[in-house]
Structure 1
Amino acid sequence: MNEISTADSGAAPAFDHLRALFINCTLKKSPERSHSQGLVDISAALMVRHGVAVDQIRAIDHDLATGVYPDMTEHGWDTDEWPALYERIMAADILVLVGPIWLGDNSSVMKTVIERLYGCSGILNDAGQYAYYGRVGGCLITGNEDGIKHCAMNILYSLQHLGYVIPPQADAGWVGPAGPGPSYLDEGSGGPDNDFTNRNTTFMTYNLMHLASLLRAAGGVPAYGNQRAHWDAGSRFGFANPEYR
């Protein structure tokens, strides 16, 4: 039988060609403490250690209009900071959406961010693909009641539907024992020392970096067969309607 060494498996990779963005969807404005930020700090520190340029946004600190268009000032809103945030999103190879659980579901801020991401998903890149192609996505979830997998399922489905590539084990989180109790950063919670959470957060972080690096080296997702601009122009990439009888 093969023995698994406890030593590191090979030299640590460098990812200094990558950029990552964490969007924290806490309900707490800065500088109030965010338990979700505790998980961001773990993942972001790993990325920085390997040369990734890391950017962070606390969404609630910004005036984000409600809606599903790229700029909601064109649809009756007086202000909308989303277009500026979208530029930071498009500069990143890796997007990690982070947030708390409330009533067993993602926060209202998380829902707003996903809706605004959706509002820009129809924009096309230079290859005629949807805008988010060639990027990878993941999520981190905190709370003090159950629901990590439910929340992650919603986020990761949304990201892949918009065009992000989801690597293996692209989610991690901490909720403590079932039922009300201490939150992640509260004294005595055990959250920062939880091996399961630390392992999953580490695996998620490396899988995001590995896959983003592979996509960048490959020039993104190959364009043939997924170009909206070509489809609209009449190309069908070999598709043939079945004969109905």
Structure 2
Amino acid sequence: MAAANGKGADLADTLRAIALNCTLKASGESSTDAMIAVLRDAFAKVDVTLTETVRIAAHDVKPGVTSDEGEGDDWPAIREKILAHDILIFGGPIWMGQIGSIAKRVLERMDAFISETDDEGRMPSYGKVAVAAIVGNEDGAHWSSAQLFQSLNDTGWTIPPVAACYWVGEAMGSTDFKDLPDTPDKVTKTAAMTATNAAHLARLLKANPLPGAE
């Protein structure tokens, strides 16, 4: 097994991550993408490959709480991609002091996991790790991560220590994270700890799956 810092890991130790960008924008430059990129670089240093970023607003993810809401619903294919990875980077912006509506729709669709258990009561997300990438120009990062982590825990994800990498600008300010000339040192350090802890936990869970209960 790889060391906690990822050094000396061989191919068998390499983990795969997928990111969800829950920006409200269907296209164009996004501060959430910029924060996901910071985590991508941090994860690469601990032998975790970010294979894809899915921008939810660019897809037709229908409202609902099942894994398939019928014709035209893009969620089943996205769900399949998410569950094929070891780590989920859940990215989203703060709006009105809380995580944005697109992120909440994703959480609502994951509610279906609760009724999709195996014979030991394990949801499809059991043994998989989730972290958050949050950006905004107002207070609310802690409240947004609390919303995400409680919902992700309820739907079977495992949350490591230091699981949220975030940046908030001046309240009612006009500077976005994507417009900063350099990534703040504190953000870089937090991303490194987030990635290290998530990778370590994901490897432990992969080697020793959660047992469930009959």
TM value normalised by structure 2: 0.89
The residue number in structure 2 matching 1:21 is 18
**Which whole-Å deviations, capped at 9, do the CAs of 1:107-148 have from their partners, x for residues lacking one?**
110011111111233212465412211111110110111110
1:90 is matched by which residue type in structure 2? L
Q: Which has the higher contact order (CA 8 A, sep 6+)?
A: 2
The residue number in structure 2 matching 1:36 is 32
- Number of residues of Structure 1 aligned to a counterpart in Structure 2: 208
Specify whether residues 13 and 157 from structure 1 end up closer, same or farther in structure 2 by C-alpha distance, changes over 3 A only.
farther
> Which one of 86, 103, 106 corresponds to residue 93 of structure 1?
86
Matches within 5 A, 1:1-245: 12=7, 14=9, 16-30=13-27, 32-54=28-50, 55-73=52-70, 78-125=71-118, 127-186=120-179, 189=180, 192-218=182-208, 220-223=209-212, 226=213, 230=214
Return the offset for 1:11: 7.1
Stretches of structure 1 lacking an aligned partner (at least 5 in a row): 1-8, 231-245
Greater strand proportion? 2
Specify whether residues 34 and 126 from structure 1 end up closer, same or farther in structure 2 by C-alpha distance, changes over 3 A only.
farther
RMSD: 2.0
Secondary structure of the residue aligned to 1:193 is coil
Highest Rg: 1 or 2? 1
Identity rate, percent: 34
TM value normalised by structure 1: 0.79
CA distance in 1, matches of 2:140, 2:42: 25
The residue number in structure 2 matching 1:235 is none
1:113 is matched by which residue type in structure 2? V
CA distance in 2, matches of 1:114, 1:26: 14
CA distance in 1, matches of 2:206, 2:88: 14
Stretches of structure 2 lacking an aligned partner (at least 5 in a row): none
**Which whole-Å deviations, capped at 9, do the CAs of 1:186-239 have from their partners, x for residues lacking one?**
2xx46x431222211221111111100111111x1123xx3xxx3xxxxxxxxx
**Which whole-Å deviations, capped at 9, do the CAs of 1:160-196 have from their partners, x for residues lacking one?**
111111110100101122332301012xx46x43122
